[in-house]
Structure 1
Amino acid sequence: MEKRELGHAVIVAAIVAGMLAANEVARPQNWTPVGLYLYWATRIAIEAGLFLSTFQALFLAPQLSRRPVVHGCLAAVISFFPFVLAVTALDIVLGLPELDLSIGGPATPGPRLLPFAQELGYLIDNHLVLSLLLWCTIMFTRQPDIRRHPANETAEEIGARPPEKKGNATQTNGFEKKSDLEAGPPKLLKRLAPDLQGQLLRVEAQEHYVRLVTEDGNSMVLYRFGDILHELADIPGMQVHRSHWIADICVGRVYRQGHNLRISARDGETIPVSRKFSAQVQRRYETLFQKK
């Protein structure tokens, strides 16, 4: 999760905490307004922290990161039970009535499953609304500018066409690379954090997201793969699969695995080559093709 997304989520959580505290009608006895605001700030911080940390942890499962709605729903469900336990413990420590417990008074022995089930039902709407607000904030922050293709050119043709020769160029890996002053970074790369705006190596499509891999790291961005191919038209490289674009400088070697081609990228990943682009890949990277 980028710093900008986290910052926006913190702002939303702070606004929610302030609104809940301002509209609290049943303030506990002997509580000052400052104490009430601190209570809701702590409670919302716990809730938001659990959701955001769960949301970030789920990025380890690529199949979830490709489905933002499922990703957000699962993060809300997983973080709900720890949130209820944490808030229940917080209320008990502060002396608020929870699970039929009375601080300092006699306690009835035995489990309190029914009161805990009631607590789940009481807190679920609060958690779902806050999770939805945080998820929408993250998605809105990631929303890119949408650009259209030229009318007579498909996304595949844009990604597969060879780079044009103009101006001064340097030789890298046997392929021409335009100077930084002439080509410049794609507009999308400028939206990344400054520590990720290095040389673009490859792009991988994952449903509504694209993973941008640069020399400095990688980041998931909400973007259409076809639109980013248009932005990459001036960078030496090509689309090799319906979900993969790779820069010339990132190609380590090309080899055949069974009946399919594979590209060994310089960042350590193996990129599949679809049959549609097989002949183009062999011609473009002929010097890197290993027949055996």
Structure 2
Amino acid sequence: MIRSYIAQVTFLCLAAALLLAASQAMRPEGWTLASLYGYWLIRVLIEAALFVAFFEFIDRVPGLKSRIWPVAAIAAVVSLFPFALSITALDLILGLPELDGLNASALPAASSTGTTATGISHIGSFFREVVYLSDNHLALCLLLTAPKLFVFSANSQTGTNAVSQVQSDTAETAISTEKPELQDTPLAPVDTGYGRHLETPLEGDLLRVEAQEHYVRLVSETDSRMLLYRFNDIVAELPDNDGMQVHRSHWVAYEAVVGHSRENGRLWLDLKDGSKVPVSRKYADDVDARFGKEATTQKKAVN
């Protein structure tokens, strides 16, 4: 799924670059049509990379998690200044007029009395350049927010539908019963964890959870799902008596472990579905304390 997001962003960048290049009325002197399109493609890719990087960083800040619009707005504003610096440098290297039409060949010679004034003038020119680039930049940032927004909306809608279905089924069961005392029985609690984002429940008992970029892989004996979810959040939601985190990217269920082994000095857990999960040094002592004897005994019994 992360590849799908990258593909969507790349496609949007390509479309934006083609539109901007096609709408430019005049080409710089000596430039071919291919050079013009290449310039806009590089420019848009730099802009997109800065926005996406700041978006992913800000999205990890407590209080802003999964709040698409505030995160996108902050990322767009913060990335505008390094974008303006990057494009100004790129244009000066290519010999294009920037900073109010001044390029390297047109800058006046600095003197001891005029250096400060020239520096202040260039700072003012830079901020005018920031304002000049802002509309283009904010429009592209809005465009690149679309894939994130649609994924978030789809997950929210899936969760809402699942909750509504559970509530409807429970209410129908309570109404159809013939025993009056059952009418006062409270409804079963609705799953408020990661399960609300699954279209159908995971088949079988959960064996392990693996982090993959912004997604997590849920694995049971008979099923495997990819879910847009934070690994730390899903670990916090899983009961402590069901399993434990053994690596920064792995959580395992106690019942899934059948043994352990060391390969090249690294500790691995053997699971009953045949998979092997690495154990980092941070969790090695906890794993030895939990699985040291039991895992070896279980492994011998299985063999």
Q: Give the TM bin, normalised by the shorter chain.
A: 0.5 to 0.7
Q: Determine the C-alpha separation between the residues in 2 that align with 1:219 and 1:2.
A: 18
Match of 1:16 in 2: 16
In structure 2, what is the Cα distance between the partners aligned to 1:60 and 1:182?
27
Correspondence 1:151 to 2:151: no
Measured after TM superposition, the shift of residue 69 of structure 1 is: 1.1
Q: CA deviation at 1:182?
A: 8.9
**Could you tell me which residue of structure 2 aligns to residue 101 of structure 1?**
102
Contact 2:21 2:37 in 1 (8 A): yes
What SS does the aligned partner of 1:199 have?
strand
Quick one: which amino acid aligns to residue 16 of structure 2?
V
Q: 1:193 to 1:71 in 2, by over 3 A?
A: closer
The answer as to whether partners of 1:5 and 1:141 remain within 8 angstroms in 2 is no
Do the aligned partners of residues 66 and 86 (structure 1) sit closer, same or farther apart at CA in structure 2, a change above 3 Å counting?
same
What residue is the counterpart of 2:30 in the other structure? 30
* 1:79-118 residue CA offsets vs partner (Å, 9 max, x unmatched): 1100000000000000011124233344254221232122
Structure of larger gyration radius: 2
How big is the shift at 1:251?
2.2
Please name the residue that 2:144 is paired with.
134
Q: Distance in 1 between matches of 2:18 and 2:233?
A: 32
Count of paired positions: 197
3-state SS, counterpart of residue 266 of structure 1: strand
Q: How does 1:20-59 map to 2 (within 5 A)?
A: 20-59=20-59
AA aligned opposite 2:103: S
- Residues 134-283 of structure 1 mapped to structure 2, 5 A cutoff: 134-142=144-152, 143-144=154-155, 146=158, 147=161, 148-149=164-165, 150-151=167-168, 153=170, 157-159=189-191, 183=203, 196-199=216-219, 212=229, 217=231, 246-247=237-238, 250-252=239-241, 266-267=244-245
Alpha-carbon distance change, 252 to 26 in structure 1, aligned in 2, over 3 angstroms: same
Cα deviation, residue 44, structure 1: 0.2
Preserved contact between residue 59 and residue 66 of structure 2 (Cα < 8 Å): no
TM-score (norm 2): 0.55
TM-score calculated relative to the size of structure 1: 0.57
Contact 2:84–2:129 under 8 Å retained in 1: yes
SS in 1 for 2:64: helix
Structure 2 vs 1, CA of residues 122 and 97 (structure 1 numbering), >3 Å: closer, same or farther? same
Partner residue, 1:123: 133
Matches of 2:216 and 2:202 in 1, distance apart? 21
Cross-structure match for 1:237: none
Larger RCO (CA under 8 A, 6+ residues apart): 1
Give the letter for the 1:251 counterpart.
Answer: D
- The question of whether the paired residues in 2 share the 8 Å contact of 1:51 and 1:75 is answered with yes
- Structure 2: distance between partners of 1:139 and 1:246: 24
Is residue 6 of structure 2 the alignment partner of residue 6 of structure 1? yes
Question: Hey, what's the Cα distance between the residues in 1 that align with 2:76 and 2:215?
Answer: 30
Corresponding residue SS for 2:241? strand
Deviation at 1:245, TM superposition (A): 8.4
Cα distance, 1:219–1:55 mapped onto 2, change above 3 Å? farther
**CA 1:182–1:42 in structure 2 vs 1: closer, same or farther (change >3 Å)?**
closer
Q: How many Å apart are 1:40 and its aligned residue?
A: 0.1
Secondary structure in structure 2 of the residue aligned to 1:63: coil
Residue 182 to residue 71, structure 1, CA distance change in 2 (3 Å): closer
Q: After superposition, what is the alpha-carbon deviation per residue over 1:110-165, rounded to whole angstroms, capped at 9, x for unaligned?
A: 221232122111100001000000011222134235323242648862339xxxxx
Deviation at 1:184, TM superposition (A): 5.3
What amino acid is the match of 2:168?
Answer: A
Distance 1:219 1:8, change over 3 A: farther
Instruction: Give the % identical residues.
Output: 29
RMSD of the TM alignment (CA)? 3.8
- Measure how far apart 1:195 and its partner are: 8.0
Structure with bigger strand share is 1
Structure 2: distance between partners of 1:267 and 1:184: 20
Q: How big is the shift at 1:23?
A: 1.1
What CA distance in whole angstroms lies between the structure 2 residues aligned with 1:44 and 1:152?
Answer: 50
**Unmatched 5+ stretches in structure 2:** 111-117, 172-186, 193-200, 221-226, 249-303
Q: Counting helix residues as a fraction of each chain, which structure ranks higher? A: 2
Alignment-derived partner of residue 70 in structure 1: 70
